């Protein structure tokens, strides 16, 4: 019979030196050195005045280490962080076995709202001292993250009033069903589960009406009403490639040298145009006169480009037509013709979706002979005359022969019947108009921006943007598991996003060897 050495998996008293658990070269080591030797946390100390009376408090340095180490390992909830402080040796070591409760951890994160910007700036000062900020190019971009709010509780004020009515009707329906059963002979009170459901529906209806009565309409820059959310009024509904979410658009400005985040913010809106100027202003402390700012088409507007021109800020901001002007994307139409993997709302091989008709984008236009070709292959002819809209936008109109459209197999998908039979001869063929680009003003800042970004040098510089900022978002979302924001309110969400950006920057400091000089 073989003999093996015994193994014991029961509890054992083992000598553990906590300071030796923080290994040089690790994120925890760089974090501990940064907090203890580089950061000035006197503002956090000033919140406590308990030297004579009152209970002792958790050291804010220890709490900051715990939160940042937890975020670096994908722990986002305060309960999971508190559990790690009592079970994970590394957390026990970095906290000195403090073991704060989940309530203390959540309260500490929320309390950082006023100090988060100075803390973020101090980490950047350490990054700059380590030579990690190159100042050659900054890439600005955003990522949409769901928040701790329900999409169902979002809508315009009229939609919210309608929702309150539907909640009351649902409660009335439950009661009516119970009363019908009573008349049939079942003389029993409403069971507890249904009673709780009715009360919850009533309370939600009252809460919805109170929100509408106490909060004014949210309006955008054009005066249109935006949808409000009862749970988190600062958040917004946003369309993503995975559907609609209720959340925030987290913003980051990233230096191209070592992908250090130099500015971070959040906005409760799907539109990011208004965030370009604030992000540039936040990054101003780390720029010089030659620092190039890049951003995608979501940040482009004539007002933004004009402001950059007035401030003499070197920038490359893409517009919505940039790729259409780039010959490298000339064949991208063949990919757009493929079915949409998320929803069937685009025209495919068999024509437009049910109930819709062919639109101008489904036609091919030829500027040389002023003709257009419809999806069925028929030719539409233009007189060559250019018309103008009330706003001065030029457009050209193309008209097909009535005989061609009358016998066309795609007639029902191209021409509205208006009560006529598809076999009835037409007196006029399909008419389609195409907007033409306005005459370019070479002196306009937007036109100069287009010329700069279309130049070989501009394309080479702008192509570095995606490789600068997108890996940062991938690190935070995938490696750090930041799939959602678990706080409510823009100030609290901004604090959490800034802490995650600090974690990313501390990783850069760790790889640069922060605090390892002289370590044996």
Tell me the mean pLDDT in the region 391-399. 89
**Are 28 and 97 contained in the same domain?**
yes
E strands within 280-430? 292-295, 315-317, 364-366, 371-373, 379-381, 387-388, 394-399
Q: Is residue 339 part of a domain?
A: no
Q: Which residue has the higher pLDDT, 326 or 207?
A: 207
Q: Is there a domain that residue 490 lies in?
A: yes
Residue 205 predicted with pLDDT over 90: yes
Q: What is the C-alpha separation between 142 and 122, in angstroms, rounded?
A: 23
What's the whole-model pTM score? Answer: 0.81
476 pLDDT above the threshold of 50: yes
Share of residues in the chain with pLDDT > 70 (%): 91
Q: How far apart are CA 92 and CA 14, in angstroms?
A: 15
Mean pLDDT of 278-304: 94
Lowest mean pLDDT segment, chosen from 233-237, 244-248, 303-307, 344-348: 344-348
Q: 451: which 2 tokens?
A: 């010329």
Instruction: Give domain status of residue 150, yes or no.
Output: no
Do 323 and 400 lie in a common domain? no
Do 37 and 125 fall into the same domain?
Answer: yes
Q: Which residues contact 434 (CB under 8 A, 6 or more apart)?
A: 360, 363, 365, 372, 395, 396, 398
One domain for residues 462 and 429: no
Average predicted confidence (pLDDT) for the chain: 88
What pLDDT score was predicted for residue 347? Answer: 45
| Residue 273 and residue 410 in one domain | no
Lowest mean pLDDT among 140-144, 381-385, 436-440: 436-440
Residue that finishes a domain, picked among 389, 407, 435: 435
In this structure, the answer to whether residues 390 and 452 fall within a common structural domain is no
Same domain, 315 and 462: yes
2 located within any domain: no
Specify the number of domains making up the chain: 4
- Residues 208 and 240 reside in one and the same domain: no
Tell me, what's the pLDDT at 72?
Answer: 96
Average pLDDT estimate for 421-432: 81
* Alpha carbon distance 416, 437 (integer Å): 28
Which residues lie closer than 8 Å to 31 by C-beta, 6 or more apart?
A: 65, 68, 69, 72, 94, 506, 510
* pLDDT at position 421: 66
**Contact criterion met (CB below 8 Å) for 407 and 268:** no
Q: Verify that 24 and 100 share a domain, yes or no.
A: yes
Q: Where a domain ends, among 185, 216, 247?
A: 216
Structural domain harbouring 304: 236-328+442-494
Could you tell me if residue 162 is inside a domain? yes
> Are 130 and 30 in contact, with CB atoms under 8 Å apart?
no
- In a shared domain, residues 304 and 429: no
Angle between helices 78-87 and 60-72 (to 10 degrees): 100
Within a domain: 51: no
- The predicted-structure confidence for 38-74, as pLDDT tens digits, reads as follows 999 999 988 887 877 878 889 999 999 999 999 999 9
426/458 same-domain check: no
Task: Confirm whether 282 is domain-assigned.
Answer: yes
What's the confidence (pLDDT) of residue 373? Answer: 93
Helices 490-511, 116-129: inter-axial angle, 10-degree rounding = 20
What are the DSSP E strand ranges found in 214-256? 218-219, 225-226, 228-229, 236-240, 243-255
Contacts of 449 (CB under 8 A, 6+ apart): 305, 315, 316, 317, 319
How far apart, in whole angstroms, are the C-alpha atoms of residue 370 and residue 366?
A: 6
Residue 452 lies in a domain: yes
b (16+ CB within 10 A) / e for 75-98: bbebeebbebbeebebbbbbbeeb
Are 31 and 106 contained in the same domain? yes
- Return the structure tokens found at 496: 């959490």
């Amino acid at each position: 019979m073989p003999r093996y050495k015994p193994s014991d998996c029961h509890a054992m008293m083992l000598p553990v030196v906590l300071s030796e658990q923080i290994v040089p070269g690790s994120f925890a080591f760089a974090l501990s050195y940064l907090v203890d030797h580089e950061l000035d946390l006197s503002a956090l100390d000033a919140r406590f005045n308990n030297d004579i009376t009152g209970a002792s408090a958790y050291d804010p340095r220890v709490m900051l280490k715990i939160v940042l180490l937890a975020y670096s390992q994908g722990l986002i909830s305060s309960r999971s962080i508190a559990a790690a402080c009592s079970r994970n040796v590394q957390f026990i070591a970095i906290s000195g076995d403090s073991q704060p409760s989940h309530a203390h951890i959540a309260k500490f994160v929320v309390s950082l709202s006023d100090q988060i910007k100075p803390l973020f700036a101090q980490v950047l000062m350490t990054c700059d001292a380590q030579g990690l900020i190159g100042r050659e190019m900054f890439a600005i971009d955003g990522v949409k993250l769901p928040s701790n709010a329900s999409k169902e509780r979002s809508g315009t004020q009229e939609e919210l009033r309608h929702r309150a009515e539907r909640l009351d009707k649902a409660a009335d329906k439950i009661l009516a069903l119970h009363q019908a059963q009573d008349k049939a002979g079942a003389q029993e009170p409403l069971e507890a589960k249904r009673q709780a459901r009715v009360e919850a529906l009533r309370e939600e209806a009252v809460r919805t009406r109170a929100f509408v009565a106490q909060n004014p309409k949210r309006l955008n820059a054009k005066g249109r009403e935006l949808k409000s959310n009862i749970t988190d009024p600062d958040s917004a509904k946003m369309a993503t490639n995975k559907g609609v979410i209720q959340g925030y658009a987290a913003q980051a400005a990233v230096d191209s040298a070592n992908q250090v985040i130099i500015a971070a913010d959040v906005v409760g809106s799907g539109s990011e145009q208004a965030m370009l100027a604030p992000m540039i202003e936040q990054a101003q402390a780390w720029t010089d006169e030659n620092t190039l700012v890049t951003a995608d088409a979501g940040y482009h507007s004539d007002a933004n480009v004009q402001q950059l021109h007035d401030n003499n800020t070197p920038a490359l901001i893409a517009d919505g037509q940039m790729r259409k002007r780039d010959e490298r994307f000339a064949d991208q139409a063949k990919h757009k013709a493929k079915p949409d993997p998320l929803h069937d709302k685009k025209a495919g091989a068999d024509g437009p979706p049910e109930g819709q008709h062919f639109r101008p984008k489904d036609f091919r236009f030829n500027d040389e002979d002023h003709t257009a070709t419809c999806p069925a292959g028929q030719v539409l002819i233009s007189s060559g005359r250019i018309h103008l809209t009330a706003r001065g936008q030029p457009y050209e109109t193309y008209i097909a022969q009535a005989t061609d459209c009358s016998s066309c197999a795609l007639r029902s998908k191209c021409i509205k019947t208006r009560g006529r039979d598809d076999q009835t001869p037409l007196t006029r063929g399909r008419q389609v108009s195409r907007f033409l680009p306005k005459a370019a003003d070479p002196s306009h800042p937007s036109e100069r921006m287009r010329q700069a970004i279309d130049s070989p040098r501009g394309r080479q510089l702008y192509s570095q943007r995606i490789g600068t900022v997108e890996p940062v978002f991938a690190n935070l979302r995938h490696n750090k598991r930041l799939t959602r924001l678990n706080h409510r309110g823009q100030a609290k969400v901004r604090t959490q996003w800034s802490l995650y950006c600090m974690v990313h920057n501390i990783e850069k400091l760790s790889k640069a060897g922060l605090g390892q000089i002289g370590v044996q």
